[in-house]
Structure 1
Amino acid sequence: MQKKWFMLLAALMLAVIVAACGTTGSSTPVTSGGEANSAAKTDGSSAAGESGGTAGSEELTIKHQLGETKVKKNPQKVVVFDMGALDTLDKLGIAVAGVPQDSLPSYLEKYKDAKYANVGSLKEPDFEKINEIGPDVILISARQSEMYDELSEIAPTVYVGVDNARYVDSFKENVKLLGELFGKEDAVEAELAKIDEAIKSLREKAAASGKKGLVILTTGGKVTAFGPGSRFGLIHDEFGVTPVDTNIEVSTHGQSISFEYIAEKNPDYLFVVDRDAVVGGEGASSAKEVVENELVKNTKAYQNNQIVYLDPNYWYLSGGGLISVLEMVKQVDAGIK
């Protein structure tokens, strides 16, 4: 009798052990796998995405001057060749991974720090370094346009250069694009409202003055002029300063002129961009030394103290940014009396 009870008890214990082993072996992987799949579908992110290592999952299709590019929103690794775009990203507090460090305007010199990768020069990108970064997006303008295809093979590449023929509209489109890409739409709208108000005030002031102006660039002792629709033509087109000459050739580098031409046109305002101050190196003559000669001293601009020296950091290196455009408005406004 005792033997039967002992055998029955042993059989029951064995059954319990087998059942427990079966439950452990079959249910745990199913539960774990099910939970993992559910989480991936819910937030749409990978472990790398959660740690901030990659861009978001939402994608924008951006049409630009060189084509159409798909870019994921909130890109984490950004390489910037356009100084206007860098200016805007800096204003919005958006981090960048790499810039051409030998071409930075003075007010953006913090990007020379070693924590930012040097991605070459404006005309000669360091493709090896850019590949090493593995960017989520590359922002370029005119000087890199010929390398668009090669850069696009590395990462989504977007042209964000300003169209001089429609400067302010083009500038606004670019900054709104960046605002959407990085989720900074409200901040962009607030900054654009400030710029719109400043331009409106300047236009009214320029119209009330009834005076005419000429925009020139100096480099290597030579002078070129820029009229409506040109690189610095927004002084006429957008800021409302009447041009002293409406027939100036529209070109990237300006129309070559003489000092006799300036004396003949006799502008009320002479706006001067000193290229050598930012790219000329040591020993280059200042714009003041070049411009204020005996011929120019006979003009109304000189005699009425209305030669306006514009900061080339904003005008030559980085136009088209939230910081630079507002500064450009302020400088012209300060020169108009």
Structure 2
Amino acid sequence: MIAKHRYGLIALFVATSFALQGCEKKTQAAAETPAPQAAVSPETNARYEPIVVEHKLGSTRIEKLPQRVVALDMNEVDFLDALDIPLVGMPKDFIPDFLAKYKNAPQIQDTGAIVQPNVEQVYATKPDLILITSLQANHYKELSQIAPTIHFDVDYRDSQVNHIEVIKNHLLTLGSIFEKEKLAQQKVAELDAKVAQAKQITQDRPEKALIVLHNNGSFSSFGVQSRYGFVFNALGVHPASPTVETGLHGQPVSSEFIQQANPDIIYIIDRTAVMERRPALDADSLSNPLLRETKAWQNGRVIFADAQAWYVTAASVTSLELIIDDVIKAYQD
């Protein structure tokens, strides 16, 4: 979990209202393009209280309100988008549909691949803040020489019960850094409401579910101790698989395994569609007779999940809301 504090303060004070962005948009295209951030006056920086963010890779001190932000993970891009914070650099290899407006934004430098950022391109943006996750952690020291760098301490291998709390805490941290505390708290409240909705729906329901990743005709299952563990531990979904440790890429399983587990619900994440940019699987294109014998298939409870939200991100505000929507779909009669 990311620790944060302002010098001289013990806790983050939060209000209930939030500010709406007031950028004028002349065309529909302009409305979909992130607007550049206005320059900060010397007076603003003079009154800015330095912030220290403690994270797994170290301690990062923010001396002034960041103006040129680079986000090297799509989760971080989504956090900034939720807080109306422009950025000057990001990887553009796998941008989910809900962040599509950033794809061709000319003012945003392409910084290479998510898992292998181009450090020279990052340097060229002249950033004053860099945001990373564990996928870019091996570049932390190098990036920290360019600008203050913050590591988002999300565990992609084992989300367990604290996954949602980690997301909320990071959102509040960013809200503090960018003086967007009210908006951050509003987003946290909306996320809490969404989680509560899912738990209310799954509460006392007997159905058991499998989370399955599809990759070129092969399948992997994700249990309670995996990157999707929060679906079981925090959202109240009952697991159909006895598998406990599955980690980052899941436990390879056969169609026979899925048939024998005979889950009431199957969530299918189509990695192939994302990574190879192929048409997404659906009930018509998944010609697997063994899966069609499961209770999930026969009762219409096979959910072809939003693979971009589940696989590319899954640790940000928008992606978590989309995942919860997919979870809820399986319980709708």
Relative to the length of structure 1, the TM-score reads 0.80
Residue in structure 2 matching 1:77, options 68, 71, 74:
68
| Post-superposition offset of 1:124 | 2.1
Which secondary structure state, in structure 2, belongs to the residue aligned with residue 154 of structure 1? coil
Residue in structure 1 matching 2:308, options 297, 313, 319:
313
Q: Which residue of 2 aligns with 1:223?
A: 219
**Is residue 2:140 matched to residue 1:145?**
no
- Equivalent-residue separation in structure 1 for 2:164 and 2:179 (angstroms): 22
**Is residue 2:89 matched to residue 1:98?**
yes
- Equivalent-residue separation in structure 1 for 2:97 and 2:59 (angstroms): 33
- Equivalent-residue separation in structure 2 for 1:275 and 1:55 (angstroms): 48
Q: Which residue of 1 aligns with 2:53?
A: 62
Query: 8 Å contact 2:208–2:237 — kept in the other structure?
Result: yes
> How many residues end up aligned between the 2 structures?
289
Code of the residue aligned with 1:293 in structure 2: it is N
**Is residue 2:286 matched to residue 1:266?**
no
- Equivalent-residue separation in structure 1 for 2:61 and 2:219 (angstroms): 42
Residue in structure 2 matching 1:301, options 274, 296, 308:
296
Write out aligned runs for 1:1-337 (5 A): 50=41, 57-112=48-103, 113-163=105-155, 164-165=159-160, 166-282=162-278, 286=281, 288=283, 291-337=286-332
- Equivalent-residue separation in structure 2 for 1:312 and 1:72 (angstroms): 38
Unaligned runs of 5+ in 2: 1-38
Which secondary structure state, in structure 1, belongs to the residue aligned with residue 300 of structure 2? coil
- Equivalent-residue separation in structure 2 for 1:220 and 1:71 (angstroms): 44
Which secondary structure state, in structure 2, belongs to the residue aligned with residue 205 of structure 1? helix
Code of the residue aligned with 1:268 in structure 2: it is D
Code of the residue aligned with 2:110 in structure 1: it is N
Structure 1 residues 195 and 53, CA, compared in 2 at 3 Å: closer, same or farther?
closer
Structure 1 residues 124 and 305, CA, compared in 2 at 3 Å: closer, same or farther?
same
Code of the residue aligned with 2:226 in structure 1: it is S
Query: 8 Å contact 2:210–2:221 — kept in the other structure?
Result: yes
Relative to the length of structure 2, the TM-score reads 0.81
Code of the residue aligned with 2:111 in structure 1: it is V
| Post-superposition offset of 1:54 | 8.0
- What are the superposed Cα offsets for residues 151-193 of structure 1, whole Å, 9 maximum, x if unpaired? 1111111111523232111111111111111111111212211
| Post-superposition offset of 1:209 | 2.1
Query: 8 Å contact 1:140–1:161 — kept in the other structure?
Result: no
Q: Highest CA radius of gyration, 1 or 2? A: 1
Which secondary structure state, in structure 2, belongs to the residue aligned with residue 218 of structure 1? strand
- Equivalent-residue separation in structure 1 for 2:286 and 2:328 (angstroms): 21
Structure 1 residues 296 and 56, CA, compared in 2 at 3 Å: closer, same or farther?
farther
- Equivalent-residue separation in structure 2 for 1:221 and 1:232 (angstroms): 21
- Equivalent-residue separation in structure 2 for 1:108 and 1:325 (angstroms): 14
- What are the superposed Cα offsets for residues 278-321 of structure 1, whole Å, 9 maximum, x if unpaired? 11134x77365675511111110000000011101211112222
Unaligned runs of 5+ in 1: 1-47
Query: 8 Å contact 2:224–2:245 — kept in the other structure?
Result: no
- Equivalent-residue separation in structure 1 for 2:91 and 2:185 (angstroms): 28
- Equivalent-residue separation in structure 1 for 2:166 and 2:66 (angstroms): 22
Query: 8 Å contact 2:214–2:268 — kept in the other structure?
Result: yes
| Post-superposition offset of 1:132 | 1.6
Structure 1 residues 289 and 67, CA, compared in 2 at 3 Å: closer, same or farther?
farther
Aligned-pair identity in percent equals 32
| Post-superposition offset of 1:256 | 0.4
